Each structure stands twice: as structure tokens, then as C-alpha cells.
Structure 1
Amino acid sequence: MSGVAQQRLQQERKAWRKDHPFGFVAKPRTLPDGSVDMLHWDCRIPGKANTIWEGGVYPLELKFSSDYPSNPPIAMVCLSIINPDQGWRPSVTVKQILMGISELLNNPNNSDPAQTYGYEVFRKDKAKYARLVKEQARKYSDEKYSTL
């Protein structure tokens, strides 16, 4: 890993430990030999209270490249601030990414859907969408998802 990426990710980890939103988790992956892989972070995003996402703790993997922060991490979500052609800036932090995803859960971007099925249900049948999201919240409420 490049020195710049390593240094930045170590700073990110230190900042996260000092100040992170309640219920959120973000940490580099520990390998079987006990070493830490700073390029792969396991994260958890809690569903916001008083929303259909409440009760769920949603797993997310962030994959960083050796040229981070010049390029954003990869995550299986459409979010402009981690899109290199839209909103990515090297100053964007892991905390900002996770907070952005949390906001996106409750306020989906209809102009840039990540999943066709979810988008179609959201657009055509809000009650069904809410029911499906609540099922996901129950699925991801297991204790195994709440901590790492």
C-alpha cells in the first residue's frame, strides 16, 4: 500500500475512534494471522429512529485502493460523494461516506437508482416498499450485525 494511502487511512481510523456517530461501526478488517488490512473496512450503519429502517444495522464493506485518497473507496451503493465522476474529493472522510449512506436510506435518490427492483417498487407501491424495508430491518437486526 502506498505511504499516502496508509497514512490517510490510519488518520481516518484514529479520527473515527475519537468521534463517530452513535451505533455506527467502521474498522479495518483483521486478517486470520492477526494483521490489519487497512484497505478493507467493515462498516455497520444503523437505521434511523422513527423511519422504516429503524432496528436494522446494515453491513457495508469499503474497499480502498492504494491510490486513496486520490480515488474513492468502492462500496456497493450509488452515492455521489464516492463517485469519481461526480462528487468525490480527496477530503471526503469515511464518516461523511457513512453519514451520506445513512441519509440515502431514508431519502433515496430517484434520479440515480442502484437497484432496479427496489426503485420500481419505491416508485409504484410505497406501502410494499415500506413492508420490504421493514423485513430487511428485521433481517439485519440480528446481534451478529450490530457489532464487529
Structure 2
Amino acid sequence: MSAAQTLQRQLREFQKNPLPGFNVELKEDNIFVWDIGIFGPPDTIYEGGYFKATMKFPEDYPFNPPTFTFNSEFFHPNVYTDGRLCISILHPPTPDPMSGERPEERWNPTQSVESILISVISLLTDPNISSPANVDAGVMYRDDREKYNEIVRKEVEKSKRDIPENVAIPKSAEDFIIKNKPEIEEDESFWYDDEEVDDEWDEDYMSDE
């Protein structure tokens, strides 16, 4: 399967079963460039924000990872000042002893758009400050959390101007959970509301992994 076919399939799956908290569209109908909108998770300093980003996929996807770049101002230990996201899952699957990353932490072809976006959300609330891409943000997060939070809150307020008119805004933690059983073509990563998923389907899904 070509990279374009793989991405078209993943886009169809994402459109059938959207990941809560994200708005995804193609940029100028280019299957290799996705415009991403991220709603700040509730009960975090990002709550109420809407952060725009671009994900660009290589021609040999999924054997190599896409790049992920924030277009909105985004002060974070793991985001370079030019907006590029630095996260293990997006690092090429080649040996790099200097990074200190284990091979299983880096990109592999079983990853998907969903697993990338879930990793981004996880990083928002749990930054890796041991090797920050933005040293100033990493030091401030560690030593002056109040000042760090103040900067982020200002960015959140600015970002609200970019919320599209036709997009539903998640307003609670419940809005960030998939409650209906998704249609899965192959092994993918999702958030689930376990109480809503029947045991029989859960066993079938697990057996496919």
C-alpha cells in the first residue's frame, strides 16, 4: 500500500470515528499535509484554548514519521521556538545512542495519526523537561511554575480567536471520551469509555492485537 493510500485510509477512519478534542482537515486537499486543531483539555492550564498545527507526512509513511509543527504561539518545554514538536514517537526509527531513547519509544510503522495526537495531548500535561527543546520553558516549568502558567494562559486567550465557527467546542471531560463503539479496520489506538464497551466486542478487539 502506498503512503497516499495509507493516509487516505487513516483519514477515512478518523472521519468515521473522530478523536475528541481535535479538528482535522487536509491542507489544500493535499493528503500529505494535515491541518490540526487542538482543543485544550479540561481541568488543565490549556482549557478553552484552540491550538493550530500542521502535520506533514513523508512519501515513505508509515515507515518514517510525520513532522508536527504548532502554528499558534506555544510555550512548552518540548516545542522549539519555531513551533516544531520534539517528542520520541516522532523520531525516526534509527539507532541514536546520544538521545537516550529506547527503540520502542521511537517511531514504528504501527503508529497512526490517533496515537500521535494522543501522545501530543499527554505531553501537554506531562512535559519531558529532562531534555527540553525549549530550554527557557523547561527551566521555567521546573523553577517558576506560576510564571510558566501565566504565559500559557495568555496564549490560551489569544488562541480562542482561531476557533472555527462550525466546530463543536468540547466543554467537559466527558466530551473528550469516545462513548460509542468505533468501527475499526485494523489495530488502532483510541480513548475508550470502558463502561460503554460490551465485553464481547472488547474480547474480539483484544484478540486482533
TM-score of the superposed pair, with normalisation by structure 2: 0.63
- In the alignment, which residue of structure 2 is the partner of 1:83? 91
Does the CA-based 8 Å contact 1:118-1:129 persist in structure 2? yes
Note the C-alpha offset of 1:114.
2.1
Output aligned runs, 1:12-23, within 5 Å.
Answer: 12-23=10-21
Measured in 2, the distance between the counterparts of 1:124 and 1:130 equals: 12
Mean Cα displacement is larger for which, 17-26 or 59-68? Answer: 17-26
Matched residue, 1:129: 148
Cα displacement string for residues 37-80 of structure 1 (whole angstroms, at most 9, x for unaligned residues)? 11111001111101111011111111111111110001121111
Provide the residue aligned with 1:64 in structure 2.
57
Instruction: Read off the aligned partner of 2:133 and give its amino acid letter.
Output: A
**Paired-residue identity, %:** 33
Unaligned runs of 5+ in 2: 69-83, 94-104, 168-209
Aligned to 1:100: 119
How far off is 1:22 after superposition? Answer: 2.3
Residue 17 of structure 1 aligns to a residue whose secondary structure is helix
**Residue in structure 2 matched with residue 7 of structure 1 by the alignment:** 5
Q: Letter of the 2:108 partner, please give it.
A: R
Answer yes or no: is 1:111 the counterpart of 2:109: no
**79-88 vs 92-101, which moves further:** 79-88
Q: After TM superposition, where is structure 1 displaced by more than 2 Å over at least 4 residues in a row?
A: 144-148
Match of residue 37 from structure 1: 30
Q: Which has more radius of gyration? A: 2
Q: Is the 8 A contact 2:21 2:40 kept in 1?
A: no
> 2 CA distance for matches of 1:43 and 1:81?
17
Q: Secondary structure at the match of 1:141?
A: helix
Q: Which runs of 5+ in 1 are unaligned?
A: 31-35
Could you tell me the TM-score, scaled by structure 1's length? Answer: 0.87
What is the CA distance between 1:133 and its match in structure 2? 0.9
Structure 2 partner of 1:27: 25
Please provide the CA RMSD for this pair: 1.6
CA shift digits 1:107-127 (9 cap, x unpaired): 101123121221121111010
Residue identity in the other structure for 2:85: V
In 1, distance between residues paired with 2:118 and 2:37?
11
CA contact (8 A) 1:56 1:140 kept: yes
